[in-house]
């Protein structure tokens, strides 16, 4: 039986359809990734699965329990790491976890044991009695992961677990996730903007504007592209797009300053294209598929939208944790 099962799920906020009829399932022990740009509907989906939001229509179940009818049972089966940090900076690492353990009804002895195990799994055993205020962003995220697994969840939800962290800390967190999966067999549902991270998932679904536009293993999705991605830059991308369609019968996608084209043998087609086109080409590149190419070929845009500030989340993360108290 699937650990997460979602059927024609819809969530509307007034005129905005945040989740637009998605269906998928996640099997026990899988690491399943939800990949999509800002506003795609990732956090909304997690909120529904974690019973924090009611769906507008459709069904969702987690651990075999319906997210609406059996919300209490769902809550007992899951751990959550929210997109926005939720630790109490004025408490120690231990106190943060103890508070959480009490919420789950653990007695002090059981709580101590589980807290020690969880802290050691994320490599924070030596920092147990330090105030969280003194922790780095990466340490805080690790502490939140420790908190998320205290109740031995069947399914662990992680909304952007690594956002705003440096690549080294992100790798560390990935190691913990793999350890966790190996040692506890927990099912992980996570969201990310980072395409490199989606490669670590057993399966991913690509979500855009509330719809799942592709799903499968990372290599299945890349294989679906059947070949290489050519990018041609030109002052007149529209003209280029129509010339390629007319002369070569190939569809290309217009994007920032040029076009993108997916072909089986880029090395053969590229010279022919350049010889045959009259539109002035200013730059050319060819790449073998990455997940970003999958996204680009499906939506015509990069997963990080133009003008987005990759450090924006880090700045707001720093503000929330170090200022204002």
Q: Which among 34-42, 123-131, 167-175, 277-285 is the span making contact with ligand ATP, rule CB under 6 A?
A: 34-42
If contact means CB under 5 to 8 A according to the sort of partner, which of ligand ATP, Mg ion, none does residue 110 touch?
none
Helix extents (H) in 104-236: 108-121, 137-148, 167-184, 195-198, 218-223
Which of 3, 5, 43, 187 binds Mg ion (CB under 5 A)? It is 43
Judged by CB under 6 A, does residue 21 bind ligand ATP?
no
Site for ligand ATP in 68-97 (CB under 6 A): 83
Residue 130 DSSP symbol: S
Judged by CB under 6 A, does residue 38 bind ligand ATP?
yes
Identify whether the C-beta of residue 72 lies closer than 8 Å to the C-beta of residue 63. no
Identify whether the C-beta of residue 60 lies closer than 8 Å to the C-beta of residue 67. yes
- Phi, psi for residue 245 in degrees, rounded to 5: -65, -45
Would residue 187 be called left, alpha or beta, if left means φ above 0 and alpha means ψ between -120 and 50 degrees? beta
Judged by CB under 5 A, does residue 297 bind Mg ion?
no
The DSSP H or E segment spanning 97 is: helix 93-103
Q: How far apart are CA 280 and CA 19, in angstroms?
A: 41
Judged by CB under 5 A, does residue 45 bind Mg ion?
no
What is the Cβ-side half-sphere exposure of residue 322, based on CA atoms within 13 angstroms? 10
Judged by CB under 6 A, does residue 43 bind ligand ATP?
yes
Q: How many residues of this chain interact with ligand ATP, rule: CB under 6 A?
A: 12
Judged by CB under 6 A, does residue 33 bind ligand ATP?
no
Judged by CB under 5 A, does residue 162 bind Mg ion?
no
Q: Which among 39-47, 65-73, 175-183, 217-225 is the span making contact with ligand ATP, rule CB under 6 A?
A: 39-47
Judged by CB under 6 A, does residue 161 bind ligand ATP?
no
Q: How far is the CB of 38 from ligand ATP (least distance, A)?
A: 4
Burial class (CB in 10 A: 0-12, 13-18, 19+), 56: middle
Q: How far apart are CA 145 and CA 161, in angstroms?
A: 8
Residue nearer to ligand ATP on the CB measure, 28 or 39: 39
Q: How far is the CB of 144 from ligand ATP (least distance, A)?
A: 16
Binding region for ligand ATP (CB under 6 A): 13, 16, 18, 36, 38-44, 83
For Mg ion, the binding residues (CB under 5 A) are 42-43, 83
């Amino acid at each position: 039986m699937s650990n997460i099962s979602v059927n024609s799920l819809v969530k509307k906020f007034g005129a905005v359809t945040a989740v637009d009829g998605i269906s998928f399932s996640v099997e026990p022990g899988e690491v399943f990734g939800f990949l999509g740009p800002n506003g795609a509907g990732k956090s909304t989906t997690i909120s529904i699965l974690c019973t924090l939001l009611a769906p507008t229509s459709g069904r969702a179940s987690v651990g075999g329990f319906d997210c609406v009818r059996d919300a209490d049972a769902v809550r007992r089966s899951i751990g959550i790491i929210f997109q926005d940090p939720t630790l109490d900076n004025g408490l120690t690492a231990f106190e943060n976890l103890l508070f959480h353990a009490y919420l789950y009804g653990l007695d002090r002895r059981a709580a101590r044991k589980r807290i020690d195990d969880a802290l050691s799994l994320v490599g924070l055993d030596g920092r147990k009695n330090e105030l969280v205020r003194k922790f780095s962003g990466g340490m805080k995220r690790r502490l939140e992961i420790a908190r998320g697994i205290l109740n031995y969840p069947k399914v662990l939800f992680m909304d952007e677990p690594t956002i705003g962290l440096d690549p080294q800390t992100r790798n560390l967190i990935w190691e913990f996730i793999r350890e966790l999966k190996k040692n506890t067999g927990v099912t992980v549902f996570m969201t990310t903007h980072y395409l490199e991270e989606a490669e670590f998932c057993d399966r991913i679904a690509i979500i855009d504007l509330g719809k799942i536009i592709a799903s499968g293993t990372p290599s299945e999705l890349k294989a679906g592209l059947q070949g290489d991605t050519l990018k041609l830059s030109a002052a007149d991308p529209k003209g280029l797009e129509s010339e390629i369609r007319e002369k070569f019968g190939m569809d290309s996608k217009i994007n920032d300053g040029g076009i993108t084209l997916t072909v089986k043998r880029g090395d053969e087609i590229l010279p022919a294209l350049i010889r045959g086109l009259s539109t002035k080409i200013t730059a050319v590149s060819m790449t073998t598929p990455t997940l970003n190419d999958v996204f680009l070929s499906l939506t015509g845009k990069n997963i990080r939208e133009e003008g987005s500030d990759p450090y924006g989340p880090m700045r707001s993360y720093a503000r929330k944790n170090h200022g204002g108290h």
